A and B are shown apart, each in its own frame.
Chain A
Amino acid sequence: MTNSFLKIFTEHTYSRADFAHNISLVREFFEFIFFTKRDVSASKDSIEQFAAYSKKPFVDIAFLRTLPSSFLDTFTKESLYETLKRLSEESKQLKTLSLTVPTVLSREDVAAIGIWAHQEVDANLLIDIDVDPSIAAGCRLVWNNQLHDFSLDRYLAESQAALHKRLVQTQKVTTMSPRT
């Protein structure tokens, strides 16, 4: 059962940071339902009430809205923490695409990259993002424990021979030119 939960959960969760954040968000939502409102189960309306109550960002509420009713119905007051814990544990088994990018990306940018990864690589993978400004542009990625460099450094290294050739030519021209 948790496998299908995990699939539903990761359908709109792209990074491991988002996964942890969303788990926390779901816990807060169900705590609101079970302990604040003292309802037995959650519904779509409950999401709006939670939005009004918690003043969470739109992105978080949007995520909760993407969760189907079947998913929401499975949580009870007794199974809430156990289910969330199991989800966290099982998420560790998911494939991870580690990316090192030159700058801090917004959630939308991460989501765009995640969507691409779900569509082009694996629907169940999570991305893990680190920031290294020395990359300048592009990214470095680790997949199946292998590092692949698609940063500016790689392109500069590939074009280094041409750059060097150009430098030598420039040097010769400078040396041969008469001094003023």
Chain B
Amino acid sequence: MNVIQSLWSTVLSVSPDAVLLTVLALLILMLAVFTAVVIRFGTQLRYLATPLFDRTVKEAQERAEHILVDAREQGSAIRMQAQMEAEKIFTNRKEEDEKFRTEQSAHLEEITLHAKDLLTKHVQAAEKMLRDEAESMRQTFAKEDERMKQTFADVGAQVQHEYKEFTAEIKKRMSDEVAKEIEMARQAVTIYKQEQFGMLDKEIIELVKDTTRIALHKSLSLDEHRGIILDALAEAKRQGVFSTPS
């Protein structure tokens, strides 16, 4: 007793830090001893703990199965619920779709009918307009045709009249021109003939002169030349050539 007390007092007298450190060291030591025991006597411990373990496992399995059954039931219920909901949605959707299709068909029929109606109306209006336009054009053409015929008739008459006048004028002018041309040609021919005759006469006279010159040049002697020159000088003196003042 005294020993415990002395130890206790010794412990109490020691500082807290030292106590804590000591406790910690003791714990570590105990843990090491426990680990060694476990490693050494592991199989025996397991045999000792098996019934408890099995029971615990069995309970856990039961609970797990119970949980699984509950979960399956809940899942089935949820699935059923979801299926029902889905079918319901599907049915609603189908109804809506059917309704939409019906409405769409009705709208399309309505649109088609309306379009047909509009088209018919437009076609009728266009046909009417074309008929009116054609009628108007026909009337205009008839009117213009009549007017053109009248105009052509007037122009034709005028052209015929002018053509006659023009033809007469041209004929008159042509005949005048032709007469003038003939007269000019006659004059030209006359002048040409005169010129040609003149040239011919000149050529003949020149020929005669040349012939005379050649004949005289060849036939005259120097004495005869001298005599002619002296006669020419005497003629010059007679004509007073040498009496002109210097």
Residues of chain A whose beta carbon lies under 8 Å from any beta carbon of chain B: 95, 99, 101-103, 105-106, 109, 112-113, 116-117, 120-122, 133-134, 136-139, 141, 143-144, 146, 148, 150-153, 156, 160, 163-164, 167-168
Contacts and interface: CB of A to CB of B under 8 A. Distances in A.
Contacts of B208: 156, 163
B232 interface: yes
Interface residues of B, number: 30
A164 B246 contact: no
Interface stretch (B69-77, B88-96, B132-140, B235-243): B235-243
Given A103-B222, A136-B216, A137-B228, A95 B201 contact: no
Nearest to B245: A144
Of the candidates B204, B225, B245, the one having the most CB atoms from chain A within 10 angstroms of its own CB is B225
A103 B225 contact: yes
Given A120-B237, A136-B213, A102 B242 contact: no
B44 interface: no
Contacts of A164: 201, 205
A108 to B, nearest CB: 9
The SS class assigned to the B binding surface is helix
A138 B232 contact: yes
Contacts, number: 96
Contact of A152 (B205, B216, B223): B216
A160 B206 CA distance: 10
A150 B212 CA distance: 16
A42 B236 CA distance: 43
A153 B222 CA distance: 19
A102 B212 CA distance: 13
Nearest to A160: B205
27 contacts: A99-B229, A102-B217, A102-B220, A103-B220, A105-B229, A112-B226, A113-B226, A113-B230, A113-B233, A116-B233, A117-B233, A120-B237, A134-B213, A137-B213, A137-B216, A137-B225, A139-B232, A139-B233, A141-B236, A141-B241, A143-B244, A151-B232, A152-B213, A156-B205, A167-B201, A167-B205, A168-B201
Contacts of A109: 222-223, 225-226
B228 A138 contact: yes
Given A133-B217, A167-B201, A150 B242 contact: no
